[in-house]
């Protein structure tokens, strides 16, 4: 097969292409998956062994020459197009260029940022903890007994055990950071007052539906000091909800059981959609359950190195998706991780 003749022919065709569209069609014909140049390169396999090296080298050389010629012709067309636009006088080089599309913040990030700003303005510190957690911090240190249903594998993603390292899991809530923080501070000689928030990702082996995800976000809060009372807890929660829901809210406390608080509460907010009259969102009850919370259990304080005879504390664990859904009127939690850009683009653009 005469590679020189083929090369000459293809280079002539490139030079003769009338415009950018014809050039693009020619490129596909020559270099597309079944293109003529590709066929030439592949035909090496049909030759006797001794002829292959020389032919392969020549065929690859032809391919490189054709690619270079196409590139050069493409640039010529681009320059001609620009020159024509300038000559027509409808190109104003002083006009700002098209604005690059900006991303938007995810609604969970937006609300989390607002909450972090609010709590840090009230003197809270941001704490972090690992998403891969030990059984000790996730359950034992929080007074959650060995036979508690939350430990079962239908609720918890357990990890492969490593000899000598105990059992690990994907944390099911942000509460393990309570004892982590208390231990870290008391180990270094710090003592209450202590005010921390812990925004973070949690995982549960749940059946996904309108209100449940396997991966979701919580924000934990922990305050420990002398004489901390339920009144402090209610005041902090009301302030937080007023800011985040952008309206004054009425709240009510109901008893709620969590082994790491005593007493424990479910804090409900007066339904912001119907003002408490009853609607589908609040399931006609007039109230929406939003915030589990309570007074820190003495066992948990002790585990953190703090004397419960001297100090008391409150803690809360807010489901961030739940708050975002209330704030923006979103009725399906699966929207958050669905990856639908039309949903995400509704939220404000990144400005900083």
Q: Which residues are near ligand FA5 by CB under 6 A?
A: 173, 175, 204, 206, 212-213, 216, 218, 220, 258, 261, 264, 292-294, 315-317, 319, 321-322, 333
Whose Cβ is closer to ligand FA5: residue 124's or residue 258's?
258
> Residue 324 CB, nearest distance to ligand FA5 (Å)?
10
3-class SS at 77?
helix
Q: At what angle do helices 20-31 and 52-88 cross, to 10 degrees?
A: 160
Q: Which residue is nearest to ligand FA5 (CB)?
A: 319
> Residue 210 CB, nearest distance to ligand FA5 (Å)?
10
Alpha carbons within 13 angstroms on the beta-carbon side of residue 351 total 3
Whose Cβ is closer to ligand FA5: residue 29's or residue 327's?
327
Whose Cβ is closer to ligand FA5: residue 199's or residue 264's?
264
Whose Cβ is closer to ligand FA5: residue 259's or residue 305's?
259
- Give the C-alpha separation, 309 to 288, whole Å: 35
How far is the CA of 199 from the CAs of 176, 222, 244, in angstroms?
12, 12, 15
121 φψ region: left (φ > 0), alpha (ψ -120 to 50), beta (else): alpha
> Residue 255 CB, nearest distance to ligand FA5 (Å)?
12
- Give the C-alpha separation, 177 to 200, whole Å: 10
> Residue 33 CB, nearest distance to ligand FA5 (Å)?
46
Burial of 209 (0-12, 13-18, 19+ CB in 10 A): exposed
Whose Cβ is closer to ligand FA5: residue 11's or residue 330's?
330
Beta carbons of 79 and 20 less than 8 angstroms apart = no
> Residue 341 CB, nearest distance to ligand FA5 (Å)?
22
3-class SS at 283?
coil
Eight-state DSSP code of residue 89: T
> Residue 320 CB, nearest distance to ligand FA5 (Å)?
8
Report the b/e string of 319-330 with b at 16+ CB within 10 A: bbbbbbbbbeee
Q: How many CB atoms lie within 10 A of CB 265?
A: 24
Whose Cβ is closer to ligand FA5: residue 10's or residue 217's?
217
Whose Cβ is closer to ligand FA5: residue 135's or residue 213's?
213
Mode of pairing for the β-strands spanning 125-126 and 194-203? parallel
> Residue 63 CB, nearest distance to ligand FA5 (Å)?
55
> Residue 175 CB, nearest distance to ligand FA5 (Å)?
4
Whose Cβ is closer to ligand FA5: residue 7's or residue 204's?
204
């Amino acid at each position: 097969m005469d590679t020189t003749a083929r090369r000459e022919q293809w280079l002539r065709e490139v030079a003769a292409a009338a415009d950018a569209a014809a050039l693009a069609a020619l490129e596909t014909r020559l270099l597309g998956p079944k293109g003529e140049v590709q066929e030439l390169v592949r035909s090496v396999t049909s030759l006797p062994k001794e002829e292959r090296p020389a032919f392969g080298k020549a065929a690859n050389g032809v391919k490189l020459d054709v690619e270079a010629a196409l590139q050069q012709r493409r640039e010529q067309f681009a320059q001609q197009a620009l020159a024509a636009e300038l000559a027509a006088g409808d190109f104003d080089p002083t006009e700002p260029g098209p604005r690059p599309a900006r991303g938007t913040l995810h609604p969970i990030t937006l609300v989390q940022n607002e909450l972090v700003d609010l709590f840090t303005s009230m003197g809270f510190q941001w704490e972090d903890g690992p998403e891969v957690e030990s059984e000790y911090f996730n359950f034992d240190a929080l007074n959650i007994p060995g036979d508690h249903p939350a430990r079962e594998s239908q609720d918890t993603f357990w990890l492969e055990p490593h000899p000598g390292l105990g059992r690990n899991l994907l944390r099911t809530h942000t509460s393990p950071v309570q004892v982590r923080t208390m231990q870290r501070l008391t180990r270094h000689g710090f003592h209450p007052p202590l005010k921390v928030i812990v925004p973070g990702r949690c995982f549960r082996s749940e059946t996904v539906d309108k209100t449940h995800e396997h991966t979701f976000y919580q924000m934990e809060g922990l305050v420990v000091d002398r004489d901390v009372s339920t009144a402090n807890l209610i005041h902090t929660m009301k302030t937080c909800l007023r800011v985040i829901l952008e309206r004054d809210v009425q709240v009510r406390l109901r008893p709620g059981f969590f082994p790491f608080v005593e007493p424990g509460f479910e804090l409900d907010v007066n339904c912001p959609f119907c003002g408490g009259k009853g609607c589908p969102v609040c399931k006609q009850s007039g109230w929406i359950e939003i915030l589990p919370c309570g007074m820190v259990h003495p066992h948990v304080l002790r585990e953190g190195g703090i004397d419960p005879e001297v100090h008391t504390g409150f803690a809360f664990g807010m489901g961030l998706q739940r708050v975002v859904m209330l704030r923006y009127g979103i009725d399906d939690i699966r929207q958050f991780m669905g990856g639908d850009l039309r949903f995400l683009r509704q939220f404000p653009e990144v400005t900083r």
